[in-house]
Amino acid sequence: MTLRKEYIEELEGLKGEVLKMGELAKESAKNAITALANRDAELASKILKGNAIIDELEFDIENRCMRLLALQQPMASDLRTIGTCMKIITDFDRISDLAGDIAEIVLRMGDEPHVKPLIDIPRMSEISQGMIADCLKAFATGDIKILEDFSARDDMIDALFDQVRRELITITIERPRCIANAGHLLFVALHLERIGDHACNIASRIIYMITGEKRKLE
């Protein structure tokens, strides 16, 4: 095998590992809201255990990036690809951490009924999951057109968060005994809002990887 072919295979392997990490982070975020809706402590515990796998992947990917940079001295687009990999794995790790935070909330709430129907929170989750899925698709295919509406999607998540916050504040005023439960749901919504922000960070980096253009999506 020639050195060039070996390098190309290593680069493709690196991208594959990044996609794997992204899929795991997305699944973790999805499962966190499923656990919340179903009060599923077993699923919540599974999410927390799974985060260790994502942490290991991040460490492995970072090492692979450093090895490629040190041994191959990539130029132009390849350099942007490796740099993007190093950046977005941090965002994927934060997404999995936020999913873990939601899982911990699920365990703390136990079987306690939610103070309000879970309508807006699952919608926030659905939008953010779609954003992560499109990031992974764009990273794999180079199709950045699917990222063009990320600012609008992030605005939708922010609007839903504001709505949830207002409703929960009203509930705590009218039913002070529900403060703890409402506080838990507010933190869940806040974590989902943060996941949307991380998806925007990932999309910005992928656009830079493909085009060399620095664009802030928020």
- Domain ranges across the chain: 3-211
Spans of the chain below 50 pLDDT: none
Structure tokens belonging to residue 59: 């460490």
pLDDT for the residue 71: 76
Tell the residue number behind the tokens 């699920």, with chain if given: 106
Measure Cα distances from 211 to 48, 135, 170, 202 in Å. 36, 15, 46, 14
pLDDT for the residue 6: 77
Tell the residue number behind the tokens 């802030």, with chain if given: 216
- For the domain made up of 3-211, give the CATH fold: Methane Monooxygenase Hydroxylase; Chain G, domain 1 (1.20.58)
∠ CA 102-104-105, nearest 5°, is: 65
Instruction: List, for residues 12-39, the tens digit of each pLDDT value.
Output: 999 999 999 999 999 999 999 999 999 9
Distance from C-alpha of 16 to C-alpha of 19, rounded to nearest angstrom: 5
Query: Coil, strand, or helix at residue 214?
Result: coil
210, 124 in Cβ contact below 8 A? no
Distance from C-alpha of 75 to C-alpha of 69, rounded to nearest angstrom: 10
